[in-house]
Amino acid sequence: MIPINKPLFDEEEVVAVSQVLRSGVLTSRTESASMVGKFERAFAGYVKAEHAFAVSSGTAALHLSLLASEVGYGDEVIVPSFTFVATAETVALVGATPVFVDISLDTYNAIPEEIEKALTQKTKAIIPVDLFGLPADMKPIQEIAEKHGLVVIEDSAQAHGAQYHGMPVGNLAHLACWSFYASKNMTTGEGGMITTSNRSYADKLPYMRTHGEKSEYTSSMIGGNFRMPEIEAAIGYVQLQKLPQFLALRQKNAKRLTAKLQDVGALQLPIVPQDRNHSWYLFTVRLRNGNRDSTVNKLRKLGIGAAVYYRVPIHLMPFYHRFHRNKLPNTEKAAEEVFSLPVNPAVTIDQIDYIAASLRSILH
């Protein structure tokens, strides 16, 4: 099976993990001299943020960012429904209400005008998602936030290496949240990161990440155990050095697959606005007026790891249906019609050609 995504390791990661094990230091609260600190500084430099804080997962990054923004009971947070559940889940975990807005069928990102329409006096924050590796349209979202005094927490979990107006994603948000889950463009196995250039958040996050303790066993603010272990940070530091190579291969595969499928009228291929650079976490197509699930099943029988992401939008999930208040026709249409094809760095040119030829044959 040609996998939809696959972590790529070699001896460098093995050596980095071995060095941590031999050191005997598996976790640390003092990041300056640790692997966590080294990884944080490198990642902050890569995304051009002033500060980076490694955490235990992308979900933890979102959760901690909401806590740091003092979002809680009685507050509302604007989120898309067409995304991984963690985006809304963490809002519910802090006691706030996720308010779902519709997406563009071109980019699968939240529509800024829909965000503004959904605002109420209870709105405290907006969480735009850089879905599939394509940046959300952050300038109008940031303008809305500034106009209404809202916090912007960018969910960049799928967008390592993506750019918006020539800058790494996350730069227009108060906080950006990243995931290093095994399927992502770079991985630590599990793990996440919060980046920010806001001093007030940077002053709080190191303590909130460790139970709110400014001094040992004395909590001065709300927090929890959100720390990243040293082994994960060691893997992450090596993976970050390889990320440009990974991204170049994803770009090459996506470009070739686009060329091979561009004349297939039944498919809407990925649309990348001129002001954005896609990181190609997923190459997602939309099958118009066709049987998406049958097509995916046929591809899988041919050894192609096609996958359907977000088959059930969050607002239609049993727990989250209670928060549903807006009509989301584009979200529901996308959930019924999109599927993703492998373009990860392990996929060869011959395999890209096989994927294209197989899909063309199925849709002929």
Catalytic residue ranges: 184
Q: Which long-range contacts (CB under 8 A, 24 or more apart) does 223-226 make?
A: 223/67, 224/64, 225/56, 226/55, 226/56, 226/60, 226/63, 226/64
Burial of 243 (0-12, 13-18, 19+ CB in 10 A): middle
Residue 64, CA distances (Å) to 53, 71, 117, 217, 227 in order: 10, 10, 27, 20, 11
Side-chain-side CA neighbours of 158 within 13 Å: the count stands at 23
Residue 237 burial (CB count, 10 A): 21
Smallest CA-to-CA distance from 68 within 293, 192, 222 is with 222
User: Residue 315 gets which letter from DSSP?
Assistant: G
Number of residues that this document lists for the chain:
364
Side-chain-side CA neighbours of 154 within 13 Å: the count stands at 30
Q: Which residues contact 63 (CB under 8 A, 6 or more apart)?
A: 90, 93, 94, 226
- Distance, in Å, from the CA atom of 75 to the CA atom of 314, rounded to the nearest integer, reads 19
Rounded to 5°, the CA angle 153-158-160 comes to: 90
Task: Specify which residues 76 forms β-bridges with.
Answer: 97, 123
Smallest CA-to-CA distance from 276 within 182, 185, 177, 169 is with 169
Contact yes or no for 340/4 (Cβ under 8 A) = yes
Q: Which residues contact 233 (CB under 8 A, 6 or more apart)?
A: 34, 35, 36, 38, 39, 40, 54, 188, 191
